[in-house]
Amino acid sequence: MATSTPLASGEAATTTAGLPVIADPTKVAPRDARELSRIFFDRLQVLEEGTPAYQYARNTLIEMNQTLVRFAANRFRNRGGGEMEDVLQVGTIGLIKAIDRFELSREVEFTSFAVPYIVGEIKRFFRDTSWAVHVPRRLQELRVELARAKELLGTRLDREPTVKELAELLDLPEEEVVEGLVATNGYTAGSLDMPASGEGDSGGSARTFADVIGEDDPDMEKVENLHALAPLLDQLDERERNIVRMRFGSEMTQSQIGAELGVSQMHVSRLLNRILTRLRAGMLVEE
C-alpha cells in the first residue's frame, strides 16, 4: 500500500472492527482504494447492518470510490446542459447500489462490477430528463433505431429516406415508423403560450396550448414498465421466472422461497440479485 494513504494516525490505526481509520477517504489514490476496498468489503460481510462499524465501512467505501463515479461521468461530459453535478449525484446512487450488492466471492474486481451500475444510473437520468414531454419507453427506443436507420439510408441514398424505406429496413409497419417519427418531437418543446390550432389571428381571445393541455395519468408509467418488462421475463428460464413470481407475485420471503426450492436463503438472495441485474440492464434505454 502506498504510504500516501491518509490514515488518521499512521497505518496502524484501526477501528474496533479491525478496519483502518482513514481521515479523508476522498483523497485515497485509486490504486490504494482498490486494495483497501477488499479489506472493507471483507469486514462489511460480517458486520451487523446498522451498527456504527457497518456504517463506517459502507460510508468509507462510498467516499473512497468516488473516482469511479467521476470516471463514468466523463463519458457524458459532452451531453451539455450544465448537468454535471446532477450526473455525479446519480452516479453516486449507482455506486451505492453496487456496494450494497457486491460480494468478494464473485471473484471480480469491484471496479468492473461497479462501473455498469454507475453508467446505468446516469443513462437512466438522461433517459428520464432529456425528453421535453413524456414519451413511452418503446417510442424512445424506436427513436434511437430510426436515427440510426436514417443515417444509414441517408448515406446510401444521398437523400432523406422515405417512411416506406425506413419501414423496410427496420422490418416494421409504416404506421409504427410514423409514430416513432412523431415521437421525436418530444425531444424539443415550444412555448405553452403559443396559440393552439392557428387561433392566433383572432386577437387576444385565442386559446393557447396551455389552455388545452392535458395531464399525465400517474398509472401510465406502470403500464409502460410492464410492457417493457414482459419480453425480458420471457428470456428467463422457468426456474428464474418461478423465483420472480414467488418473490414479487406471491410476496414470499427469501427464506420461504429457499424452503420451496430446497436451497439456502443466501443462495436465493444471490439468484434474485443476478436476475434483477439482468432485468434492470434490459430496461435501460441505450442512447
Domains with residue ranges and CATH for the chain: 25-129 (1.20.120.1810), 137-193 (1.10.10), 228-283 (1.10.10.10)
Residue 186 confidence class, pLDDT cut points 50, 70, 90: low
Q: Are 71 and 77 in contact (CB under 8 A)?
A: no
Q: Which of 265, 226, 228 is nearest to 249 (CA)?
A: 226
Tally Cβ neighbours within 10 Å of residue 47. 19
Residue 181 confidence class, pLDDT cut points 50, 70, 90: confident
* pLDDT for the residue 251: 87
Give the whole-angstrom CA distance, residue 118 versus residue 29.
Answer: 19
Residue 138 has pLDDT above 70, yes or no: yes
Residue 225 has pLDDT above 50, yes or no: yes
**Percentage above 90 pLDDT, the chain:** 11
Q: Could you say which DSSP state residue 124 is in?
A: H
Residue 151 has pLDDT above 60, yes or no: yes
Quick one: cell of 11? 497505518
* pLDDT for the residue 1: 42
Tally Cβ neighbours within 10 Å of residue 218. 7
- Backbone torsions φ then ψ of 159, nearest 5 degrees: -165, 170
CA 208 vs CA 14, 134, 186, 187, 200: distances in Å: 66, 20, 18, 21, 8
| Residue of higher predicted confidence among 270 and 229 | 270
Q: Is 151 exposed, middle or buried (0-12, 13-18, 19+ CB in 10 A)?
A: exposed
Amino acid symbol at 179: E
Q: Which of 29-38, 112-121, 142-151, 156-165 has the lowest mean pLDDT?
A: 142-151
Per-residue pLDDT averaged across 234-256, rounded? 88
Quick one: cell of 186? 418530444
Residue 62 has pLDDT above 90, yes or no: yes
Residue 4 confidence class, pLDDT cut points 50, 70, 90: very low
* pLDDT for the residue 193: 61
Residue 267 has pLDDT above 70, yes or no: yes
Place of cell 393557447: 208
Residue 149 has pLDDT above 50, yes or no: yes
* pLDDT for the residue 99: 92
Residue 2 has pLDDT above 50, yes or no: no
* pLDDT for the residue 9: 43
Quick one: cell of 223? 403500464
* pLDDT for the residue 61: 94
